[in-house]
Amino acid sequence: MTTARTVYTLSIALLLGALAACGRNPFAVTWTANPDTVLLYSIDRPELNLPSAFDFYPAHRYTVAVEAAGATGNWDLALGTEGDSLVFLTPEALGANVSAAVTTFPGMSLDELTEAPSDSAAYSYEEPVPVRVGTAYVVRTRVNVSRYGARCAYYAKLYPLEVNPDVGTVRFVYDVNPACNDRSLVPDNPAP
């Protein structure tokens, strides 16, 4: 058993060494642009089980009904209503102990966002963030465990296309960097 394990370990080390010598990182993730559009409904609407939150985790990328069983903390950003305005809410803003966060870039387009802030103080964790057309947003996902066992946050950028406070809906376009803890917001490859 020990000999087989040693041979296996040496084989893996040689393979990784060969790949590194070729200039390739075997764990590198290539980001191909994959923008998509989402419609969220305010959690303050009277109907239940409408998609009011979004999970930006790269392997998921789907809407979530916050009231659904098992939804607690399994999303990164929700839509709420505050007065006559719509706001983005993180799980912590709704009482879940989850580390997702959001920050704003007024006057910037989606393409102008090239890197997520490294300063954690630049993000909102518990405060509602007003939703406005003409403002780009960066979302740092809740921490997840990658397929390699690393603790990862992922970074997404989004841009509201339609904000309708009278109906309680927001439609936005977004894309997510699939590389663990990589703050770049520029895909390696354009959309196919």
Encode the chain (192 residues) as per-residue pLDDT tens digits.
556 666 555 555 555 555 455 555 556 788 999 999 999 999 999 999 999 999 999 989 999 998 887 787 789 999 999 999 999 999 999 988 888 999 999 999 999 999 999 999 999 999 999 999 999 999 999 998 877 788 999 999 999 999 999 999 999 999 999 999 999 999 998 876
DSSP 46-63: SSSS---EEE--TTT-EE
Instruction: Give CA–CA dist 150/180, Å, rounded.
Output: 8
pTM: 0.84
What are the extents of the domains in the chain?
Answer: 1-28, 31-176
- For the four alpha carbons of 171, 31, 123 and 73, in that order, the dihedral sign comes to positive
Task: Enumerate helices (H) and strands (E) in the chain, giving the number of each.
Answer: 1, 12
Radius of gyration of the chain (CA): 19
